[in-house]
Each structure stands twice: as structure tokens, then as C-alpha cells.
Amino acid sequence: MKLGYGAGIIIVVLLSAVAFLLGAVNFLQMISLMLLLGGVWTVVAAFTIFDVSERSFYLGWGVVAAALSTFDIFNNWNYTIALILIAIVALILINVYIGRTPKMYHAANTPPAAGGTPAATAV
């Protein structure tokens, strides 16, 4: 029996709450721990639970959630926002790269035929 994605997220929330109730972390650290563990679980689930077609989506958002957990580390929110934006840009680039078919890649890298298009003959 495989552990489902939802069950893993529930475990992440419960482990973070237990750490808070035992006094190991304060409230902000609990939220940060929840985001970090949730992001790590999402990355792990991307490779173990989800299909290959969904892998880049869950991998990217797992990285975004893990980056969001750094709000407790940095005193300045600019660093956290910058990390999140970098993670989102990386997610977009990965999705564009993975979403390309070999036919699209060949069409993008092949120079246009001479005289084949109106734009090519206008020069």
C-alpha cells in the first residue's frame, strides 16, 4: 500500500504541531517547519507517487513551498520573496523545457527556407 499525497501532508502538519506542543519550536518556526516538510514531501511525491507528466508541476511547487519556509530565517522579507520568484521562474522554465516535443524543438532550431515565407522574401 502506497502512502498517498494527502496522508503525507497530514503527517507533515501533525509532526510540526507535535514539535510546537513539545516546545521544540515556537509558532513561527512551526509554520516554517510545516512549509519546509511539506515542500520536501511534495518533491519526494513528485518522483514516487505522481505520473511523469505531472512530475515537473509538483517538483516546482515543492521547491516553492520549501523556499517559502525561509521566511523565519531571514529578517528581511525581500530575500524570501526573491527566493520564491526564482523558484517560480525555474518552474516555468522547467515546464516549458519538459513540455516541448521533439517536433517543436526541431521547428524552433531549423532556419527558415529561403523564399518560403513572406518575411524571408521581403529582405
**Domains contained in the chain, number:** 1
> Residues 66-75: pLDDT tens digits?
888 887 776 6
Domain presence at residue 87: yes
pLDDT at res. 20: 95
Nearby residues of 58 by Cβ (< 8 Å), 6 or more positions away: 42, 43, 45, 46, 50
Ranges of residues in the chain whose predicted pLDDT is under 70: 1-2, 74-75, 98-123
Task: For residue 123, tell me if it sits in a domain.
Answer: no
Does residue 117 belong to any structural domain of this protein? no
Distance between CA 118 and CA 114 in Å, rounded?
10
Does a structural domain hold residue 60? yes
CA dist list (Å): 73 to 38, 69, 109: 17, 8, 44
Does residue 66 belong to any structural domain of this protein? yes
pLDDT attached to residue 95: 72
Q: What is the model's pLDDT at position 9?
A: 92
Q: Which domain holds residue 19?
A: 5-110
Within 10 angstroms of residue 122's Cβ, the number of other Cβ atoms is 6
- Exposure letters 92-104 (e unless 16+ CB within 10 A, then b): eebeeeeeeeeee
